[in-house]
Structure 1
Amino acid sequence: MSTTIAIPQTPAAQVPAHLLESSTRYVESGLRGAANTIRAYAGDWQRFTAWCALHGLASLPAPVEALAGFLTELADAGKKVATIQRHAAAIAKAHELAGLDSPTADKKVKVLLKGIAREKKTRIKQAAAFSLASFKRTIRAIDVTTPTGLRNRALLLLGFTGAFRRSELEALNIEDLAFDEEGLVVSLDKSKTNQLGQAEEKAIFYSPDPALCPIRSLQAWLRVLDRDTGCVFVSLRKNQHLTTRRMTTKYINLIAQHYLGLQYTAHSLRASFVTVSKLNGADDSKVMNQTKHKTSAMIRRYTRLDNVRQHNSAKELGL
């Protein structure tokens, strides 16, 4: 499946062809999001164009009636609200790239989306957060006598202490790691919220317990890799032989669920970092320095405090 949204170009006679091509590339780069978002949008756009072709309707520019019918069919088919909203966003993006007004801006479509969300009454499903005690037990139980165990322990500890997204763990290279006596600094070229490739760093610190130390665990895994460049987390064959294949985000998620439980995902590592940090008294600025969130509102959204007794000022009334 293509990961680009095919948009017909409008001729521009007065603009040199080579400048028009470069300008189009720059505009598309500026409008694009993270790689996973691009792939999702491309698939959503292809589904919409196929639906329009089946019903004899134009897809670009799309009439309001076509978009409303398409979104209604998705809702009737039982698609989640988030999925429907993503399809609408992909269609809006295609129109934006083509310099056309999007039907998603029409009041009728906005009311339709609001009605779908209200009828389905679907809450955004967030990755569950685990407790620090349960995470410690999980890490200690990993069999590290095999390369698989060493890799997975390093992956989970680094993912948690660095508040990494799974896409960042997938893209991590050995060249991004800088060890010194104080710990480890991980450099990120790009992330979901850093599309321009500005330098971002995450600090990882030593743990007094070697079995729970993200740095020592990572170093143990790197000794197995026995090289100075290339991807950090690779796939292994069943006979424990190393490959050069970079682990995918899907497989990283499966590893997290294997050890943590099916109610968790790889994103739980990041959510749990925020929750545990807040429970331990860290202020938002410290948390954001690691997660790279831009606002405190996102930190509040990420904080999983389901237990009413946690983080509750009623304990501090002085009675």
Structure 2
Amino acid sequence: MSQLPVVSSAPAPQVPAHLTESTHRYVESGLRGSANTVRAYAGDWKRFAAWCQVHQLGMLPAPVEAVAGFLTELADAGKKVATIERHAAAITKAHELAGLESPTADKKVKVLLKGIAREKKTRQKQAPAFTLDTFKRTIKSIDSQMPAGLRNRALLLLGFTGAFRRSELEALNIEDLAFDDEGLIISLQQSKTNQTGQAEEKAIFYSPDSALCPIRSLQAWLRVLGRTEGPVFVSLRKNNQVTTRRMTTKYINLIVQQYLGSPYTAHSLRASFVTVSKLNGADDSKVMNQTKHKTSAMIRRYTRLDNVRQHNSAKELGL
């Protein structure tokens, strides 16, 4: 396909009509080279334009968020680094020929492309991230009339909003939970990056949608447990009878796959927190304040984040 299709008959309001109408012709002319390159770039531009139309986003000029979301979706779909970079190049060329600043020049997009390349080259089997819309639909589809549904809904919501590792969810105790009017503070006694047991906290916030609220979901599950100490997430017998046996990391992984699908793992909860937060504009220090990566202590030292609720991307997930 050598022609770049016109996706929308109405020009973007911020671009002169004559410029928008001739953009596709200019793009085709500007993409002269090998026939394969022309066809590939034309197909890449068509795919991006269609994606923007579906998501009701402008394509000329395209907002940075649209480009980041589109490239991320390609990466999550398993596209090769070269394919993703070629799509970005087609977007760049289209904007250049239209006399517009390309969103691909933005630092966010450059960092995103660098991260995609690094992860795909060094961590091919990394757990994929899911989209927020997919996660919302999954949570709302869970039958919470039975203990298993209540537990699993609380597990998924807490794992995502808290950017938990599966080992941290396994080790979580009721004594680690501190509820108040602002939300929930969870104290981690030990984690992968906190082997010495130093004080470490995560903040969980209320969602206006009770069906997606990690705190209300967790409280509903705690009422089923009916106790004030011991493991938060435990196994159930076949008749939905609650036990005192701490849920294993293996079973936590199976629950994630049961609801989200086999490509995902428990680590997808953590990876998706990072992805959604970054796409929503959170800076690294906010993300690290929740994920507790090994450099988070250094970040807090330089920015003086004494309160875990300050500068925290868990407020910005959109649940």
User: Which of the five TM-score ranges fits, normalised by the shorter chain?
Assistant: 0.5 to 0.7
How far has the Cα of 1:295 moved from its partner? 3.6
How far has the Cα of 1:146 moved from its partner? 0.2
Q: Given the superposition, is the C-alpha separation of residues 215 and 123 from structure 1 closer, same or farther in structure 2, using an over 3 Å criterion?
A: closer
Unpaired runs of at least 5, structure 1: 1-120, 297-319
Give me the whole-angstrom Cα distance separating, in 2, the residues matched to 1:263 and 1:151: 22
Q: Aligned residue for 1:208?
A: 208
RMSD value, Cα: 1.5
**1:182 to 2:188 alignment:** no
Q: Aligned residue for 1:146?
A: 146
1:212 counterpart letter in structure 2? L
Q: Aligned residue for 2:308?
A: none
Give me the whole-angstrom Cα distance separating, in 2, the residues matched to 1:190 and 1:124: 29
**1:251 to 2:251 alignment:** yes
**1:127 to 2:127 alignment:** yes
Give me the whole-angstrom Cα distance separating, in 1, the residues matched to 2:295 and 2:204: 22
How far has the Cα of 1:123 moved from its partner? 4.4
Runs of 4+ that moved beyond 6 A: none
Give me the whole-angstrom Cα distance separating, in 1, the residues matched to 2:180 and 2:270: 24
1:159 counterpart letter in structure 2? G
Q: Aligned residue for 2:226?
A: 226
Q: Given the superposition, is the C-alpha separation of residues 194 and 122 from structure 1 closer, same or farther in structure 2, using an over 3 Å criterion?
A: closer
Q: Match of 2:270, SS?
A: helix
Q: Aligned residue for 1:275?
A: 275
Give me the whole-angstrom Cα distance separating, in 1, the residues matched to 2:188 and 2:135: 25
Give aligned pairs, total.
177
How far has the Cα of 1:125 moved from its partner? 1.6
Q: Aligned residue for 1:266?
A: 266
Give me the whole-angstrom Cα distance separating, in 1, the residues matched to 2:153 and 2:138: 9
Q: Match of 1:157, SS?
A: helix
1:181 counterpart letter in structure 2? D
How far has the Cα of 1:189 moved from its partner? 0.8
Instruction: Give TM-score scaled by structure 1 length.
Output: 0.54
Q: 1:202-239, CA deviations, whole angstroms, 9 ceiling, x for partnerless residues?
A: 00000000000000000000000000000000000010
User: Sequence identity of aligned pairs in percent?
Assistant: 84
Give me the whole-angstrom Cα distance separating, in 1, the residues matched to 2:122 and 2:292: 28
Give me the whole-angstrom Cα distance separating, in 2, the residues matched to 1:164 and 1:127: 14
Give me the whole-angstrom Cα distance separating, in 1, the residues matched to 2:143 and 2:281: 33
2:221 counterpart letter in structure 1? W
2:154 counterpart letter in structure 1? A
1:262 counterpart letter in structure 2? S
1:205 counterpart letter in structure 2? F
2:196 counterpart letter in structure 1? L
Give me the whole-angstrom Cα distance separating, in 1, the residues matched to 2:224 and 2:209: 21
Q: Match of 1:244, SS?
A: strand
Q: 1:235-276, CA deviations, whole angstroms, 9 ceiling, x for partnerless residues?
A: 000101011100000000000000000000000000000000
Q: Given the superposition, is the C-alpha separation of residues 123 and 162 from structure 1 closer, same or farther in structure 2, using an over 3 Å criterion?
A: closer
Q: 1:261-300, CA deviations, whole angstroms, 9 ceiling, x for partnerless residues?
A: 000000000000000000000000000000001348xxxx
Give me the whole-angstrom Cα distance separating, in 2, the residues matched to 1:176 and 1:123: 33
1:254 counterpart letter in structure 2? L
Give me the whole-angstrom Cα distance separating, in 1, the residues matched to 2:158 and 2:243: 21
Q: Match of 1:151, SS?
A: helix
Q: Aligned residue for 1:159?
A: 159
Q: Aligned residue for 1:116?
A: none
Matches within 5 A, 1:96-135: 123-135=123-135
Q: Aligned residue for 1:33?
A: none
